[in-house]
Amino acid sequence: MDLGISGKTAFVAASTGGLGLAIARALAAEGARVAITGRRQVRAKEIVAELTEAYGPGSIAVEADLSTAEGVAAAVEQTVADLGPIDILVLNGPGPKPGAAATLGAEDIAAAFDQLVKPHHALVSHILPGMRERRWGRILAVGSSGVVAPLPNLALSNTGRAALAGYLKTLAAEVALDAVTVNMLLPGRIATDRVAELDQAAAKRRGTTAEEIQLESRKTIPARRYGEPEEFGAAAAFLCSAPASYITGVALRCDGGLIRSL
């Protein structure tokens, strides 16, 4: 299938590792010009070199602190200057610390909103107007299966990502007539450094090993394994594609059947 995004410009937030990197690779493989963004500039340049060798020139490294309004503005400005108007926006970022809901204070709730909603809103505010004017755009947020079924001991993530989901679902209906789609892709247990950290934290909390936690987790997944980042990236690339133009306002799970509902 031709995804119809060759030559499109993609801004992938937090793409120097994990799911962001998997998505960036999948988009570059389809011919998109990709802005690899993050605070690790050396790593971003390494990824750009890898993508250039595999798919030819077109991707760039953007040093970005997306936690500030100034950082968002500078990253978007550089991307547009080097690659042209942004057609595909992938909202992604690190998850907050684990913790129980009963232990959260007001400052924790504010921090979850600051981390999981404000930077994404800022990116959308900068990029969406151009998409609407050109009447083509794809906005895709990397969420969590906790949006559908809140995950134990991840109260901050559950709270912040649910707020982001509400904002994006509302936005999807408002911009559909402008041929801009807005979706979320919800990972389950994907084999990334973030999931490895959560497994280590669970092991420490329960006085066992990360390997034992992983074994228990795999038993809860009908596919009986963790997903590969490449599988997640492929799903993301499709949702960012031209053929996916009638899919909007959707939260698609990529979880091996982990969440037991449609």
Both 92 and 218 in a single domain?
Answer: no
Which amino acid, 124?
Answer: V
3 within a domain of the structure (yes/no): no
Q: What's the confidence (pLDDT) of residue 77?
A: 98
For residue 10, give the H/E element and its range.
strand 9-12
Domain membership of residue 4 (yes or no) is no
- Say if 2 falls within a structural domain: no
Q: Do 116 and 159 reside in the same domain of the chain?
A: yes
Q: What is the CATH number of the domain that holds 13?
A: 3.40.50.720
| Residue type, position 201, single letter | A
Residue 262, domain member (yes or no): no
The domain tally of the chain equals: 2
Q: Which residues fall within 8 angstroms of residue 170, CB to CB, at 6 or more apart?
A: none
Range of the domain at 59: 9-188+232-252
H/E stretch holding 63 reads strand 60-63
- Residue 199's nearest CA partner among 185, 213, 186 is 213
Residues 197, 182: one domain?
A: no
For residue 156, tell me if it sits in a domain: yes
35 and 147 belong to one structural domain: yes
Beta-carbon contacts of residue 73 (< 8 Å; ≥ 6 apart): 126
Measured CA angle at 208 (ends 205, 212), to 5 deg: 120
DSSP label at 35?
A: E
**What's the pLDDT score for residue 201?**
87
Considering the domain boundaries, does residue 133 fall inside one? yes
Report which of 201, 226, 207, 216 is spatially closest to residue 96, judged by C-alpha positions: 201
pLDDT of residue 149: 92
Task: Assess if residue 260 is contained within a domain.
Answer: no
What would the two tokens of residue 173 be? Answer: 């209906």
Same domain, 222 and 110: no
Question: In degrees, to the nearest 5, what angle opens at C-alpha 83 toward C-alphas 82 and 85?
Answer: 115
- Based on the fold, state whether residues 181 and 103 are members of the same structural domain: yes
| 82 & 122 share domain | yes
Q: What is the pLDDT of residue 98?
A: 87
- Residues 215, 148 share a domain: no
Per-residue pLDDT of the chain (262 residues; tens, 9 = 90+): 899 999 999 999 999 999 999 999 999 999 999 999 999 999 999 999 999 999 999 999 999 999 999 999 999 999 999 999 999 999 999 888 889 999 999 999 999 999 999 999 999 999 999 999 999 999 999 999 999 999 888 999 999 999 999 999 999 999 999 999 999 999 999 999 889 988 998 899 899 999 999 999 999 999 999 999 999 999 999 999 999 999 999 999 999 999 988 8
214 and 103 together in one domain: no
- Three-state SS annotation for 173-236: HHHHHHCEEEEEEEECCECCHHHHHHHHHHHHHHCCCHHHHHHHHHHHCCCCCCECHHHHHHHH
**Look-up of token digits 């993530």:** 157
Q: Are residues 207 and 114 in the same domain?
A: no
Instruction: Assess if residue 45 is contained within a domain.
Output: yes
Largest CA distance in the chain: 55
Could you identify the residue written with the tokens 């949006």? 147
Distance CA 186, CA 105 (A): 27
Residue whose C-alpha is closest to residue 205's, from 112, 95, 98: 98
- Are 219 and 115 in a shared domain? no
Any idea which residue has 């992983």 for tokens? 214
Same-domain check for residues 207 and 124? no
